[in-house]
Structure 1
Amino acid sequence: MSAPISPQLLSHQNTSIIAGDGGGKRIRCTSEYQPRFDSLKQAAGRNHYWALLAIKELNALTTGMLGKNNVYVRPGEREVATGNSKYYVFLPGLKATVVRWANDQFCITKLDLDPSYYKVLSQGEEGTRMGIYRVSKEKLGSTWGIDYAADNKILPRRGRMVSIADASYSTAFDAAQETMPRTVKLMGVGESRVTQSGTDIHFTPGRSKLGGLLRYNPLSVSRARGSAFLLADAMEAAQDVDGVIWSADHGGSVVLTQAMQILIERRGSLKKYTVYFHRPRTSPASALELAHKLDMRLNQRFADTGLSMRGALSQFSIAGKRINNENDPYDKNYHAEAWLNGGLKVAAPAGFLAAMIGGQAGLVVGGIATAIGGAGVVHALGKSAKESFGHYFKR
């Protein structure tokens, strides 16, 4: 890792102008990171979409930092020696550290590239580029084929399914083999349909999974922001395609949730889209609130959190808002059924169910009814409990 650049060295003599020479705020780059910037320009010249996007966004800094949804500032953080404001610009495959000088020019003092970026810049290795891939499956075959979408756009077909993979796969090919069978099964699409029309996958290169117990807030995971920026572009470009399903798998929940946040900052509305989260490694409640703000279509079942207690509680925490949202199909009856069928399995099924059968059902039902509120809840819970666990009482 390179040592920090001394403020005394940040002069016009050891920096060069990379944007704004013809108007707007001048953007400079230190001589240490100029070769990396030049590599970006070369990749953009070869029409690599994310390199083109990176150059475009870095040039856009000539209008300043305000209103940029990929620019993050840590409150109160400045350069120790100079007191200059410090910004972090997240783009696909890279993070730029930018300092604002007293003369209102900006200087890139650090340009961190993801290891996978070097492969693209130098060799163009297939399957390692971040972004959208077409996924297909040969009839009766067991292998999923991939084809990089150079324009980062999904295939504009009604009801198109797009899987957002976790970042723990070396290539998009590996991500497709692991992710697509689960996505197809869970979304009930059917392999025959996929074999006929295919699907898409958004790939994020990385060495480890995104999110987790210590990073449960999806908006705090900084290493996914470049990928989320790219996914937001793909989602925005397809906003006129009806019925697109965006399904996040495991840590893909980070990328999808952050992309939704970016689209809100762009004042977008995605009324024709549906989102779904399979075993999310981050809070589904955060994503659901964003889905409401974007006017997205929702199914009653928004996320499958498996046996995760934290995931179940996250969904439970947002149940009231779902019930009160007239455009959300989630209602008290479904909430009661989902909690009994899903919540009990999460909360130590044997002991918890035994407690219910042993005469504590009234306490459980009362607690849930209080949490949900409103008339008819106890009836709904009682009906669901009878249908779900009635066979236990007949023994």
Structure 2
Amino acid sequence: MNQAVNMTAQRIGQPGTGKKVMVSAQLVSTYNKLIDLSKKGDYWATYIVKEIGQLTSGVSRGKSVYVHEDFSIAGYKLYRMMLPGCVANIVETPSREYQIEALDIDFSFFEKQVDFKKPGLLFAKPKRTGGWNVSLIMDKEVRGTDGKAGRTGYVKPQSKNKEDWIIVGVADLNPSPHDAAREVAAHISASHFKSEISKLGFNLMYTPGEGSVGGWRLAEANNAQKSERIHESAQVLADVMVKAQKQRKPVAWVTQYGGSGVFTQALQIVRDRGVRLDSHTAFLSGATTNTDRAFVLCRDLGMHVSPDDSFAKNQVLSVRQALGGMALGWAPVKTMVRRLRSQKGYGLKQVTSDALGLFTNGKDVQGIGTAVTTMVAAFGAGPLYGVCGAIAASAPVISAVATNIPAFDRYPNLQAAIQNTDRKLW
């Protein structure tokens, strides 16, 4: 049976080099369409063809592009390969050859990126009237088959000064790129990267979708590298990272809320490719996935985090952030210990600063018990001055409640949330 298939199938790569990879007969026309687009300069098609071609080097189970082995029986193994706009089912035979038996390709992937229906790297520009204009970043030098589709995924400097960090915000899932830009901008402004984004704009890694990454989803929060629902976005982001590194661009990544999950998985993919990111740095703001896992990957990739800067900051009263991003406090503690042991210049002063400044509203924790007691006593007594005092003392309680309102929780602090949000509270 295999011989009959091979007589009508098409081989990928040059005979005699690497492992034998065959495209099943019924998929040859689809694969050749992809090849034709690649030859005409379509960047997305070229990327897919290149990744599929990597099969000639074999399937590496540790490589993130191969999500998992679906089954293994009688010496045959089935893998799923997931790429942006493409899912391939691959059978490994007992003779260690590969056959592509299913190929689901979205040939409108680029158009969907332009329409914000697929993950992509955008540039957010401030409007004079408030809010943000967003558009897919294009490389003008290379055009696709229709004369409009250029290469995507190249970071854009927001400043003419080459010494400035190129700011890239990594957003959580969001159905609106404009809302994503607003939320991410608040996190960038609250970070230690000094950039006039309100005037210059910033790069935005956008992932369309509802809900959030991590948080209450504890399995996803603790191991974002394995989350399939953000795999497409992480692949796009990893490609952006590699391109920026090849050009030696100084990139500062600032993640917003569940954007930390997309960022973490992208780092894993980059590490699997054997690329270092020693011209990059990062800051995780309000993360809802394990921050220490992200730190380990950043360290392994050679990313620079200044000894005087925090790597991550969370709202301690946010349940989603406390569970997902902080792992109930263990994640930031482990990161501080790792930095103490291995990072030059990170000493007692820095770890003390991190411990005190790690939580954006940590003082509220101390005040909650006092506030509740004061409110009960004051309202029981009844005098107006007592009630007013109770309201003032109840600020920590108000902060704790507000921090867990979804529309507020996605911002770096309560003040930013009140200034920016106009959506329903629940």
TM-score, structure 2 length as denominator? 0.67
With over 3 angstroms needed to count, the CA separation of the structure-2 counterparts of 1:264 and 1:123, relative to structure 1, is closer
1:85 aligns with 2:94: no
| Matched residue, 2:376 | none
- Aligned equivalents of 1:88, 1:105: Cα separation in 2: 15
| Matched residue, 1:389 | none
* 5+ residue gaps, structure 2: 139-150, 374-426
With over 3 angstroms needed to count, the CA separation of the structure-2 counterparts of 1:93 and 1:138, relative to structure 1, is same
| Matched residue, 2:168 | 162
- Maintained 8 Å contact 1:50/1:230: no
- Aligned equivalents of 1:184, 1:332: Cα separation in 2: 23
| Matched residue, 2:148 | none
- Aligned equivalents of 1:203, 1:48: Cα separation in 2: 21
Q: Return the letter of the residue paired with 2:322.
A: M
Give the superposition deviation at 1:277. 1.4
Encode CA deviations 1:46-71: one digit per residue, 9 max, x unaligned: 64433321111102212322498344
With over 3 angstroms needed to count, the CA separation of the structure-2 counterparts of 1:324 and 1:88, relative to structure 1, is same
| Matched residue, 1:286 | 293
- Maintained 8 Å contact 1:91/1:227: no
Give the superposition deviation at 1:14. 9.5
- Aligned equivalents of 1:122, 1:267: Cα separation in 2: 31
Q: Return the letter of the residue paired with 2:207.
A: T
1:302 aligns with 2:303: no
**Identity percentage over the alignment?**
22
- Maintained 8 Å contact 1:131/1:202: yes
1:204 aligns with 2:231: no
Give the superposition deviation at 1:31. 5.1
Q: Return the letter of the residue paired with 1:304.
A: K
With over 3 angstroms needed to count, the CA separation of the structure-2 counterparts of 1:79 and 1:34, relative to structure 1, is farther
Helix, strand or coil at the partner of 2:270: helix
Q: 1:333-352 residue pairs with structure 2 within 5 A?
A: 333-338=352-357, 342-343=361-362, 345=364, 349-351=367-369
- Maintained 8 Å contact 2:280/2:304: yes
- Aligned equivalents of 2:338, 2:370: Cα separation in 1: 27
- Aligned equivalents of 2:362, 2:125: Cα separation in 1: 36
| Matched residue, 1:272 | 279
| Matched residue, 2:10 | 17
RMSD value over aligned CA atoms?
3.6
Q: 1:180-259 residue pairs with structure 2 within 5 A?
A: 180-187=184-191, 192-196=196-200, 198-206=201-209, 208-214=211-217, 215-216=220-221, 217-239=223-245, 241=248, 243-259=250-266
With over 3 angstroms needed to count, the CA separation of the structure-2 counterparts of 1:185 and 1:10, relative to structure 1, is farther
Give the superposition deviation at 1:342. 4.9
Q: Return the letter of the residue paired with 1:351.
A: G
How many residues are treated as equivalent by the alignment? Answer: 339
Give the superposition deviation at 1:252. 1.7
- Maintained 8 Å contact 1:138/1:195: no
Match of 1:26 among 20, 35, 44: 20
Give the superposition deviation at 1:242. 5.4
- Maintained 8 Å contact 1:39/1:121: no
Please identify, of 41-50 and 58-67, the stretch whose mean Cα deviation from structure 2 is larger.
Answer: 41-50
Give the superposition deviation at 1:209. 3.2
Helix, strand or coil at the partner of 1:104: coil
Give the superposition deviation at 1:39. 5.5
Helix, strand or coil at the partner of 1:165: strand
| Matched residue, 1:102 | 94
With over 3 angstroms needed to count, the CA separation of the structure-2 counterparts of 1:141 and 1:44, relative to structure 1, is farther
Helix, strand or coil at the partner of 1:211: coil
- Aligned equivalents of 1:193, 1:249: Cα separation in 2: 15
- Aligned equivalents of 1:264, 1:305: Cα separation in 2: 26
Q: Return the letter of the residue paired with 2:91.
A: V
With over 3 angstroms needed to count, the CA separation of the structure-2 counterparts of 1:13 and 1:166, relative to structure 1, is same
* 5+ residue gaps, structure 1: 1-7, 356-395
- Maintained 8 Å contact 2:279/2:304: yes
